[in-house]
Chains A and B, each alone.
Chain A
């Protein structure tokens, strides 16, 4: 397994430091064609085509609300 320690990363938020450091694994299995991942993508697309997005998100992107 080929891994590399990425630089220590912390998020300084109101509740203190949050450590999000982790290793990069260059040999990780590619799950992009996993049936589960594909099904999740199709479900997300179907749902969002039907219901659209929150108006706050659309406003920020300068897009009109879904009819």
Chain B
């Protein structure tokens, strides 16, 4: 997973990450956040990934940045997930887009990096009939659960 990525920073709790997308639209602050929740006795971190909207003063993941660096942004988010799960190796990470289109972008991103991702993570996709399946390329999913493979720990 030696992808091109942006430099990023994390906060002291290591649950929040920031980086700037740099492109024709100027610098855009991107935020990745992991929050712990427990459902049915299972602890997991849900992932929030969005752009900081300076005008509205909140995060937004419905903006299409078109900053010409989608692959580098994706590589940065993948690297952040790696960083986070390095510090919290048993964590289960849940991700879904705010819209179907956004979830498809996540799916395409995972597919694109699949040869690298599968060596590091177990990835489950939620199918339209509400079943979790091991991720496969060219299958549409509505959400994802990601867990670091035990055998790859340092």
Write the residues of chain A forming the contact surface with B, with a CB cutoff of 8 angstroms. Answer: 3, 9, 11-18, 20, 22-26, 28-32, 34-37, 39-41, 43-45, 47-58, 61, 63, 66
Contacts and interface: CB of A to CB of B under 8 A. Distances in A.
Nearest to B92: A57
A37 B132 contact: no
Given A11-B154, A50-B130, A28 B58 contact: no
A36 B132 CA distance: 25
B9 A15 contact: no
Given A45-B39, A48-B94, A36 B2 contact: no
Given A26-B12, A28-B9, A34 B59 contact: yes
Contacts, number: 138
B11 interface: yes
B37 interface: yes
Contact of A3 (B9, B92, B147): B9
Interface string B39-78: 1111010111010100000111100000000000000000
A37 B32 CA distance: 10
B79 A24 contact: no
B11 A26 contact: yes
Given A22-B8, A57-B147, A13 B18 contact: no
Interface of A is mostly: mixed
A56 B131 CA distance: 13
A9 B83 contact: yes
Contacts of B82: 11, 18, 20
A65 to B, nearest CB: 10
A53 B119 contact: no
A20 B79 contact: yes
Contacts of A41: 35, 37, 46, 48
Interface string B20-39: 00000000000101010101
Contacts of A14: 119, 152
B136 interface: no
B86 A20 contact: yes
Contacts of B124: 54, 56-57
